[in-house]
Amino acid sequence: MTSETTEPLDPRAVLVGNEVRAWLGRRDVSQSQMATRLGLARSAASRRMRGERPFSVTELMEIADWLDISLLELLGPDLAQARKSPRGDLVTTGAGGLPRLDSNQQPFD
């Protein structure tokens, strides 16, 4: 009996797979057609769609081109704007993205 260890899925890879799946549905094309277009086995395409293996940037660019949408549209607004801030002490709020400052500000040296 073999035991299979599963690594936790990267939530970003799952989100990308979900966005790709949604766009395939909007364009009425199948996952199998996408696999053929990318030169992947159907099982490899399926793993990418489930987030078990991330899409490469090149694959995402090819999918966007094939579906006649931008890479930004393919990723969707949540993924397109998701980023880790190099300044964890600044929290952005509102549409302008201005930092929310605490009430006891001190000048930066």
pLDDT at 52: 95
The number of domains in the chain is 1
Per-residue pLDDT of the chain (109 residues; tens, 9 = 90+): 454 556 778 888 999 999 999 999 999 999 999 999 999 999 999 999 999 999 999 999 999 999 999 999 999 888 777 765 555 444 444 555 555 555 666 666 5
Q: Is residue 69 one of the residues assigned to a domain?
A: yes
Q: Is residue 64 one of the residues assigned to a domain?
A: yes
Report the CATH number that the domain containing residue 32 is assigned in CATH. 1.10.260.40
Instruction: Report CA 75 to chain centroid distance, whole Å.
Output: 5
pLDDT at 8: 79
Among 49, 25, 27, 28, CA closest to 38: 49
In 50-87, which positions are buried (b, 16+ CB within 10 angstroms) versus exposed (e)? ebbbbbeeebbebbbeebeeeeeebbbeeeeeeeeeee
